[in-house]
Amino acid sequence: MTAKRWVIMFCIVSIILASIVPMMNIIIDPFSVFGDRLYEWNSHGMTNNPKAAKFAYVDARRGEFDAFIIGPSGASVFSPDKLEEYTGLRWYNMFNYGSDMEYMGKLAKYLIENHMPKHILLVLPAVSAVSYAPAIWGVTNEQPMKPFWRTPFLFANPQYAVNKAKAYPPPYVQGGWDVFVARTGTYNKTRRAIEPIGAMEDYLIAYPEFVAPRFWNQGMIYIEESTLVVAEIAQMCSEQGIELTIVAPPMLAEEISSYNVEKVQDFYSGITDIADINGLWYFITSSVSYEPRYFYDTTHARTAIGNIMIAKMFGDDSLYIPDDFGIWMTSENVDLVIEAGFGEAAIMQKLSTEEYTAELPVLMYHHLTDNVGTYSAISISGFVEHMEALVEAGFTAVSLEQVMDYVYRGIDLPEKPILITFDDGYESNYTVAFPILREFGFHGTIFAIGVTYDKKDLYKDTERQIIPHFGHKEAREMVNSGLISIQSHSYDMHNVEEDDDPFRDGVLQFSYESDDEYLDMFRKDHALMEALLQEYGSIVAFAYPYGRISTISAVLLNELGVKLTFSVDPGINTIIKGLPQSLFALKRFNMDDDVSPEDLLEMIGG
């Protein structure tokens, strides 16, 4: 081979090799900046670099969004779906890592000029004045809105593309590559949204970072620069007729104490003095700041708190809102508000936990009969003795609606509330328990099984005799009394090992069952139960058969709109105003004739 040919071949091979990485990055698109046409897995790209991937996502969908949330990661607390309920606008959350106000200004300018939004929500925590125009390190921090900004992503380490290809397809339950929800731009909190939360001691064990929290605070050294950016955003919004809402989100009390009150006053005084700003919503300091269970971690409030903020901003009093939560801060009251929240007297805002939490024991009964040898049964006299003991100890049997009203709306419960539940839907719940509950004026909840509903003789298609179960005639009378709620124990997932083949162990997934197959089965099972019980209202509560709980089932039930779930683990529950997670996997004490009235009262703290 001549030297000339060798050089030509070398050049061709070099060009081919040099093009492999860019072609791989374009086709697989691990940062979702080239359209993500092959995988359509934008959340993966957002996990790698939220600034770039979100920018590309909304830019490819011009005209689809007419309102935007802008801010650092604290802005993740605001749900676009919830804002749409109040405004009728299609929102997108453009929050990103860090608190770079220079980038916030550029982003707002670009969105205003290219997407013509009707509303911008600017989230402005005190940390906004801590960082400005930080150095960019690597492609994971590369920013859009500059010439040829996609070029670095062409030559990114091919390992990013390999990781995406290996991780595909994404699982139903959030995985490590699904930190974001592409449709809304928010953090993916499907796992965190269903975690049961109760007693403080349990929460601190699960999240020890709240025991001695540490914070990133290098001093508010960019007050002037950050204020100027906000002024420019406000001017652009004013000129274009765009509604601008500014919000300062909650912080933990320990983080609040790390700030200099004078600097915080200087920052927000400068913001409220801007000509095109009439004021801002201040949520930084309140009783919420002293409650770690309202936070995912030491710097991020839970989405439930975001929903409460939105309700406060739009004057919706149907949700629980703490009395001291949310102040409209203006140039006239800014110094007083900051002093009250950041000054030495701020500790006075702490509430007793009794003002927003309640201890809720739950009792679990099954069949009532004088044949006490029957499985999970209690004698009629034993049940009556239990009810008498509850009355004498001052307990009130409450309804599911009262419990939900406490958590979602902040409506107080009686002094000593208790939930009485029955599993399986036995006929004796109607013939025996219902008259007794009615005599005492007690509420009760029955978790019925779909396949045995109104069955009096045989189990499914077998020859096995079963204890009779009630049906519509009995259910209708009980529900119409206002004392009884009929809820779900699944349609056909309460299998019996001797009679069901294959036997499903409660709601647990078969080892050979794919996520899609399992979800399809569960959705159909739930739909059958909804159809069966539609006369009595929607299904808001689910008792896990045999107490088996899995992450995938909990996520799906939350998606299906179930508000309360019940386990079979013993213990007293702590439910918390404004925190729906405190209604998940509720503990229950199993009741039978081995539990004397004295034992019962000792269990429930009576």
**Is residue 420 classed as helix, strand or coil in its secondary structure?**
strand
pLDDT band (50, 70, 90) for residue 59? very high
Please give the angle made by the CA atoms of 471, 477 and 480, to the nearest 5 degrees: 125
Q: Is the pLDDT of residue 1 over 70?
A: no
Residue 369, pLDDT score: 93
pLDDT band (50, 70, 90) for residue 28? very high
Half-sphere exposure of 120 (CA within 13 A, CB side): 31
Q: Indicate the pTM of the whole model.
A: 0.93
Average pLDDT, the chain: 93
pLDDT band (50, 70, 90) for residue 308? very high
d(CA 86, CA 307): 11
Q: Is the pLDDT of residue 258 over 90?
A: no
Residue 51, pLDDT score: 94
Residue 346, pLDDT score: 62
- Determine contact, residues 481/473, Cβ cutoff 8 Å: no
d(CA 145, CA 114): 12
Q: Residue 181 is encoded by which pair of tokens?
A: 């929800």
pLDDT band (50, 70, 90) for residue 50? very high
Least-confidence region, from 127-141, 329-343, 471-485, 496-510: 127-141
d(CA 269, CA 264): 8
Q: Is the pLDDT of residue 125 over 70?
A: yes
Could you report the per-residue pLDDT of 195-239, keeping only the tens digit for each? 999 999 999 999 999 998 888 766 899 999 999 999 999 999 999
In this predicted model, which residue has the larger pLDDT, 346 or 376? 376
Could you report the per-residue pLDDT of 512-536, keeping only the tens digit for each? 999 999 999 999 999 999 999 999 9
Q: Is the pLDDT of residue 325 over 80?
A: yes
pLDDT band (50, 70, 90) for residue 9? low
Average the pLDDT over 84-91 and give the result.
Answer: 98
What is the bridge-based pairing of β-strands 564-566 and 541-543?
A: parallel
pLDDT band (50, 70, 90) for residue 8? low
Residue 370, pLDDT score: 85
Average the pLDDT over 481-510 and give the result.
Answer: 95
Average the pLDDT over 467-475 and give the result.
Answer: 96
d(CA 91, CA 80): 5
Q: Is the pLDDT of residue 11 over 80?
A: no
pLDDT band (50, 70, 90) for residue 15? low
Comparing CA positions, the residue from 142, 120, 113 lying closest to residue 71 is: 120
Average the pLDDT over 316-343 and give the result.
Answer: 93
**Is residue 503 classed as helix, strand or coil in its secondary structure?**
coil
The DSSP bridge partners found for residue 353 are none
pLDDT band (50, 70, 90) for residue 564? very high
CB atoms inside a 10 Å sphere around CB 477: 13
The DSSP bridge partners found for residue 417 are 396
Q: Is the pLDDT of residue 12 over 60?
A: no
Q: Is the pLDDT of residue 7 over 80?
A: no
Q: Is the pLDDT of residue 347 over 70?
A: no
pLDDT band (50, 70, 90) for residue 257? confident
d(CA 577, CA 308): 11
pLDDT band (50, 70, 90) for residue 351? confident
Q: Is the pLDDT of residue 563 over 80?
A: yes
Residue 218, pLDDT score: 67
Least-confidence region, from 16-20, 272-276, 325-329, 442-446: 16-20
- Determine contact, residues 265/316, Cβ cutoff 8 Å: no
Average the pLDDT over 307-320 and give the result.
Answer: 97
pLDDT band (50, 70, 90) for residue 349? low
Residue 456, pLDDT score: 87
**Is residue 364 classed as helix, strand or coil in its secondary structure?**
strand
